[in-house]
Each structure stands twice: as structure tokens, then as C-alpha cells.
């Protein structure tokens, strides 16, 4: 068995109604001055948490300007606010965008390191300020991952800070924070979580210690995403999605994602397609491309998706791809690239950009060439 390192938060609190517990977590860390980093649509959901902070006599400053996938410039504005507040703890409340900013702000507000020097693997020098994260979507898994993504204004590319210092000290996963999420966001973020689990299981660096989360995540998401999209107030479905997303996040440190994410990045960078939707439109096509290289892994994925078992692994894997297409259609994310405002002439430059995401492509079970990437985009067009 290969060596694997699992970096997880010291505390993971999971359950409906647990959000206000974040105030106790922060107080127990000895913090009084707290910076909450969040997004405008999330503020109503954070009400219970903010009330609990007031009750615990915490001095809270809310920075609520993370309104889209963050750029370095947006991050720097949040950083300026943090420098003014000098927080003793940073609390991120939101989807991946707000959580990613919160994570890097906590690490850098009192550091001499510039964020552009922290891009890459293990470049971040440290984090002194305690960090608590509360996800409000069921998708990115950012609440437990060592990753944070920012769009570099200089070249428009998504750059990742990857560091154990970005794994929060405590995570509170409260499915009730997700019940007001609109159906289309539920669908797109849920598909992102599904991709995290599938790409971690069908991965060149897959590990049995991670497979456990990946397959169970696939099962939870495949069994509950449509229900969460159609009945947003179904707490059982929301809870299953929150857990599936958490599992997807736990896969990201030790194994991480592969070609679906690498090919999805240019859609976000060049055409502002939301991350989850970009993954959703490419997932089945990448599974088609990959499955002949690893039929057994994709057959396992298919069984976890609830697909019919065929005569051999490849046939079962194909049933899994059909199950993904059906789920996408039911959730309203079975879209073509052309419908998302991507011109056909963009296929070659997008493939060139995807080929540069080597940190993820090395995880893919089948090598991806420029011609392969173009062919996958064309099939999804």
C-alpha cells in the first residue's frame, strides 16, 4: 500500500442546526475579535451564527463582498479589511469563493508574504490566525481541503494556493445553511461534488484510504441530488448532499481531481461559466474518454451511481455514464458548451489552456493530449 497523508481539520461538526456552534468554537480558541468573510446571498443564512457570536460577546466584523469566483484584486480588498480588523479568528461562511478567500486571508493578513508568491504547492509560509469554515453550498468541499483558487488578474488564469496551512482548524457543516440555495446552484454545486468523488476514485493516485470517501460520496450524491434540487427544503436530502460534499472535500488533499477539472477551468476563466456547471457539462465526456483505460474503476463508480450492472466492467462503466447523463438532465445541467456562450473557435485555445493544468492532468488515468482535449470539448459542444 502506498504512503498517503490525510490532512483534516482538528474538529468537524456535522448536523442540522449546528451553525451557531461556530461561536463556541471561536470563543474556545481564545478569540474575541473575529472577521467573518462571506457573500451577499449568504447573509440571511448566517443570521443564527451572528446572533450566537453576539451572545458569546465576540466583536464581529462582516466582510460580505465575495459575490463571484474571486480574483486576486477581490482577495486584496478582503485582506485590507483584515489588516484593519486584526482578527484573532477568521470565519468563512459561504460557497467555495468565500471560503477560499477566508482561508488565504487568515494565512496572509499578518504575513509579509504576497499572495502571488503563495501560488503553487506548499509555497504558503504559515498561518497564525485560527480559521473556522461553514459551507453553505454542497459542492466545493473547500471547507476541508488544502486548496484555494483565485483568478490572477494579470493573465486571467485560475491559480491555486495548495498548503496544509489552508486546512481550517474547525469546520461546521450545517445542512440547514443550504436549504435556501436556489435549484440551479444546488444542481451545479452538487455536480461539482460528484466530480470530486468520481475523479478521486478514478485517479492515477487513488488510494484505498480515500476510496472509502469517494465511493460513499458518489452514492450519497447520486441518491439525493435530484431530490435536493426539486425540494430544496428536504433536510434529509440536504444532509446527504452536505455529507457527500464533505467526503468530496476530504478526497481533495490526498488525491485531488483530474481531467474534468483541468478542462473545466478554461470555461470559467474565458467564459465565466460557473465552476460546477463547467464540470457538469464535461463529466460524461471525460468518463467516455477515460473508462476504456480503467474499466474496473469506472464500473465501481457506476455501481455507486446506482447504474445497472452489465456483462463486463466496460459495459457497467457505460451504464454509469448514462446514469450521469440522466442525473444531469433531471437536474437541469445537461447543457452544451455552445449554449453557455462558448464559440466554436474557442475550442483550440481552451484546449491549450487546459493542457497547462498539469497539476491535475497528472492525476488522470489516461494521458490527455491537446488533440484529446479538443475532441472532448467538441463532443460536449
- The nearer residue to Fe ion, 238 or 261, going by C-beta atoms, is 261
Cβ 96 to Fe ion shortest distance, Å? 7
158-162 β-sheet, strand order: 120-121, 158-162, 147-151
Cβ 273 to Fe ion shortest distance, Å? 13
How big is the chain, counted in residues? 381
Cβ 196 to Fe ion shortest distance, Å? 6
Q: HSE, CB side, 13 Å, CA atoms: give it for residue 180.
A: 11
Q: Which residues of 38-53 are buried (b: 16+ CB within 10 A; e: fewer)?
A: bbebbeebbebbbebb
Q: Which of residues 190-229 bind Fe ion (CB under 5 A)?
A: 192
Q: Which of residues 168-197 bind Fe ion (CB under 5 A)?
A: 192
Q: Are 301 and 283 in contact (CB under 8 A)?
A: no
- The nearer residue to Fe ion, 192 or 211, going by C-beta atoms, is 192
Number of residues counted as binding Fe ion (CB under 5 A): 1
- The nearer residue to Fe ion, 19 or 102, going by C-beta atoms, is 102
- The nearer residue to Fe ion, 26 or 229, going by C-beta atoms, is 229
Q: Which residues of 306-328 are buried (b: 16+ CB within 10 A; e: fewer)?
A: ebeeeeebeebbbbbbebbeebb
Cβ 275 to Fe ion shortest distance, Å? 6
Cβ 199 to Fe ion shortest distance, Å? 9
Cβ 141 to Fe ion shortest distance, Å? 7
Q: Are 271 and 346 in contact (CB under 8 A)?
A: yes
- The nearer residue to Fe ion, 192 or 300, going by C-beta atoms, is 192
Burial class for 112, CB neighbours closer than 10 Å (0-12, 13-18, 19+): exposed
- The nearer residue to Fe ion, 69 or 192, going by C-beta atoms, is 192
Cβ 177 to Fe ion shortest distance, Å? 19
Burial class for 203, CB neighbours closer than 10 Å (0-12, 13-18, 19+): buried
Residue 143 interacts with Fe ion (CB under 5 A): yes or no: no
Q: Which of residues 249-308 bind Fe ion (CB under 5 A)?
A: none
Using CB atoms, what's the residue nearest to Fe ion?
A: 192
- The nearer residue to Fe ion, 69 or 211, going by C-beta atoms, is 69
170-173 β-sheet, strand order: 11-14, 170-173, 131-135, 89-94, 33-37, 59-63
- The nearer residue to Fe ion, 261 or 318, going by C-beta atoms, is 261
- Residue in 68, 130, 61 with CA at minimum distance from that of residue 96: 68
Cβ 29 to Fe ion shortest distance, Å? 29
Site residues, Fe ion (CB under 5 A): 192
Amino acid at each position: 500500500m502506498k504512503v498517503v497523508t490525510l490532512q483534516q481539520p482538528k474538529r468537524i461538526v456535522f448536523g442540522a442546526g449546528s451553525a451557531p456552534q461556530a461561536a463556541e468554537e471561536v470563543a474556545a480558541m481564545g478569540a474575541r475579535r473575529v472577521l467573518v468573510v462571506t457573500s451577499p446571498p449568504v447573509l440571511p443564512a448566517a443570521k443564527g451564527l451572528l446572533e450566537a457570536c453576539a451572545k458569546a460577546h465576540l466583536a464581529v466584523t462582516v466582510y460580505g463582498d465575495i459575490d463571484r469566483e474571486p480574483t486576486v484584486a477581490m482577495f486584496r480588498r478582503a485582506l485590507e479589511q483584515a489588516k484593519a480588523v486584526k482578527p484573532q479568528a477568521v470565519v468563512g461562511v459561504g460557497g467555495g469563493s468565500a471560503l477560499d478567500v477566508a482561508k488565504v486571508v487568515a494565512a496572509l493578513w499578518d504575513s509579509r508574504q504576497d499572495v502571488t508568491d503563495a501560488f503553487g504547492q506548499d509555497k504558503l509560509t504559515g498561518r497564525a490566525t485560527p480559521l473556522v469554515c461553514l459551507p453553505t453550498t454542497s459542492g466545493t468541499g473547500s471547507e476541508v481541503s488544502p486548496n484555494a483558487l483565485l483568478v490572477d488578474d494579470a493573465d486571467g488564469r485560475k491559480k491555486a494556493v495548495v498548503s496544509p496551512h489552508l486546512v481550517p482548524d474547525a469546520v461546521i457543516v450545517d445542512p440547514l445553511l443550504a436549504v435556501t440555495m436556489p435549484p440551479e446552484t444546488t444542481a451545479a454545486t452538487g455536480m461539482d461534488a460528484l466530480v470530486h468523488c468520481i475523479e478521486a476514485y478514478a485517479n492515477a493516485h487513488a488510494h484505498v484510504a480515500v476510496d472509502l470517501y469517494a465511493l460513499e460520496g458518489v452514492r450519497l450524491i447520486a441518491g439525493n441530488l435530484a431530490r435536493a434540487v426539486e425540494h430544496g427544503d428536504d433536510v434529509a436530502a440536504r444532509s446527504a448532499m452536505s455529507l457527500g460534499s464533505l467526503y468530496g472535500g476530504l478526497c481533495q488533499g490526498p488525491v485531488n481531481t483530474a481531467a474534468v477539472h483541468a478542462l473545466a477551468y478554461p470555461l470559467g476563466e474565458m467564459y465565466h461559466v460557473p465552476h460546477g456547471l463547467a464540470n457538469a457539462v464535461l463529466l460524461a465526456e471525460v468518463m467516455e474518454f477515460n473508462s476504456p483505460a480503467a474499466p474496473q474503476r469506472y464500473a465501481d463508480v457506476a455501481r455507486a451511481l446506482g447504474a445497472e450492472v452489465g456483462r463486463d466492467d466496460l459495459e457497467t462503466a457505460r451504464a454509469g455514464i448514462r446514469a450521469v447523463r440522466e442525473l444531469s438532465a433531471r437536474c437541469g445541467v445537461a447543457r452544451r458548451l455552445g449554449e453557455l456562450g462558448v464559440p466554436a473557435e474557442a475550442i483550440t485555445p481552451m484546449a491549450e489552456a487546459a493542457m497547462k493544468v498539469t497539476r491535475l492532468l497528472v492525476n488522470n488515468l489516461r494521458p490527455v493530449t491537446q488533440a484529446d482535449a479538443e475532441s472532448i470539448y467538441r463532443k460536449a459542444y
